[in-house]
Amino acid sequence: MWFKNLRVYQITEPLNLNIDKLDTALAEHKFTPCMGQDALKLGFTFPLHPSIKSYAHQLEHLFVFALKRQEKVLPAAVINEELQPKIDTLEAEKGRPLGRKEKQALKEELIQTLLPRAFSRSTVTQAIYDAKNNWFIVNTSSASRAEDLLALLRKALGSLPAVPWIDSNQLSQSMQQWLSNQALPAGFSLGHDAELKAPDEEGAKVRFSNHLLTTDEVQSHLEDKLVTKLELVQPELLSLMICEDGSIKKLQFEELLANKNDELGWEDLILRLDADLLVMANELAQVLHVIKDQVQPLVKA
């Protein structure tokens, strides 16, 4: 269980969770597949491994959840191929072109007839509640996917007081400094990828990939652009891309860290998954604290 993208939230009131009651509460909102004309279904699934039949998993101060999303896939080309003959037929019958609302109604009717024959696509989104640090960490780059999980968990628990983990305005200011190689979070160095965007209406963007970010070519853009994405590296541990909205993408753990528990093997699946989970969660907690602590002084200034 190694997360690749992060949407992070601060839990403002600690959650008093009992693993047995939690598992029961999530089971009431378990995933069921799309049937018939269902276009989308969401529900909790087994977070640790499909063979471990529990909707919530606890390891010390960590609670693990997973939301399964299944949606019917109807390519636009397929819809349009079926839709156009129906439009042509109706226009011929009425002796006039169909209006926008008429075409939309016809399209929606067609989609309902096609859904039972459509392929299904499923994705699973995992999340960790770190009760020690009050972080809620979702393994996704999509804000909407993270909100789907939070919303259903809030429904299952009755409440879930979650707010963004960091102030985006202050983060943006810090990212300007970091790209200029100043006041980087402790233990981090600049990576080789960055994106900057002009704050005007045109919003001109410039992206650098596999590039030395300290060169004049890159640094000159700080004069009229804001840093929107920036790669940071902890040598021999991990690399990540932090974004202006506080999300983290392209999280990669180095082999030294990811293979730390290899001597355990996989004979005891739960033991190995728990060991990897603990290593990852502890490292993420340190990373989040280091980044937030470096941004926070700007708030107090």
> What is the pLDDT, as a whole number, of residue 220?
94
Q: What value does the mean pLDDT take over residues 250-262?
A: 91
CB atoms within 10 A of CB 62: 21
User: Over 60: is that where the pLDDT of 110 sits?
Assistant: yes
Per residue in 1-47, pLDDT tens? 899 999 999 999 989 899 999 999 999 999 999 888 888 999 999 99
User: Over 70: is that where the pLDDT of 299 sits?
Assistant: no
Residue 222 DSSP code: G
Q: Which residues contact 216 (CB under 8 A, 6 or more apart)?
A: none
What is the Cα–Cα distance from 240 to 249, expressed in whole angstroms?
A: 6
Indicate the residue type of 286. Q
- Whole-prediction pTM: 0.86
What is the Cα–Cα distance from 164 to 205, expressed in whole angstroms?
A: 26
The answer to whether 194 and 250 have CB atoms below 8 angstroms apart is no
Cα angle for residues 276, 278, 279 (degrees, 5° grid): 65
> What is the pLDDT, as a whole number, of residue 86?
86
> What is the pLDDT, as a whole number, of residue 298?
43
